[in-house]
Structure 1
Amino acid sequence: MSRAAKLTFLGSCVFAVGTIWFVHRAQELERESMYQGVIRDQERKAQRAQNQREFAETRALHAELIKQQPDVGEAGGRGEHA
């Protein structure tokens, strides 16, 4: 084989190996990125559940406080100025 043929073959092999490495690396990065999306979704679900629990607690506390308050509507909320 001539020197030019050997260099061409070597260049082709290096290019092929580089391309294969690049594709595998891109797949690994994409897989990691997709997994991070799953983790973010789980965190969002947990945060949503926490928010719903806090909202339910706040609503229950509000209802309890409303029960403890005197009825403001009868005391003079309407028409006192007239």
Structure 2
Amino acid sequence: MSRAAKLTFMGSCVFAASTIWFVHRAQKMERESMYQGVLRDQERKAQREQNTREFEETRARYAELIKQQPDFNEAGGVQESKGPGRPDKDS
């Protein structure tokens, strides 16, 4: 084989090997990128569930506080609420 043929063959082998390496590297990076999307989705779902739990707890606390607040009568005065743990004054 001539020197030019050997160089052409070697160049072709290097080009083929580098192309294969680049394609495998690109596939690996794409696969990792897609997996990061799955992880972000899981984190987003967990955060949404936590926010929902906190919202429900806040709503329950708010309802309890509203029950404990004194009621306002039509004349603008404060009327004592008969909420949980408060004895009736008439008894």
TM-score, normalised on structure 1?
Answer: 0.88
* CA deviations over 1:49-75 (Å, ceiling 9, x no partner): 000000000000000100110113535
The aligned counterpart of 1:22 is 22
Q: Distance in 1 between matches of 2:20 and 2:42?
A: 33
CA deviation after TM superposition for structure 1 residue 19, in Å: 0.3
Query: How many percent identity over aligned positions?
Result: 83
> What is the one-letter code of the residue matched to 1:64?
E
Number of residues of Structure 1 aligned to a counterpart in Structure 2 = 77
Higher share of residues assigned helix: 1
Structure showing greater Rg: 2
Higher share of residues assigned strand: 2
Unaligned runs of 5+ in 2: 78-91
RMSD of the alignment, in Å?
1.4
The aligned counterpart of 1:80 is none
Identify the structure with bigger relative contact order (alpha carbons < 8 Å, sequence gap 6+): 2
TM-score, normalised on structure 2?
Answer: 0.80
Q: Distance in 1 between matches of 2:42 and 2:33?
A: 15
After the TM superposition, which segments of 4 or more aligned residues of structure 1 sit over 2 Å from their partners?
A: 72-75
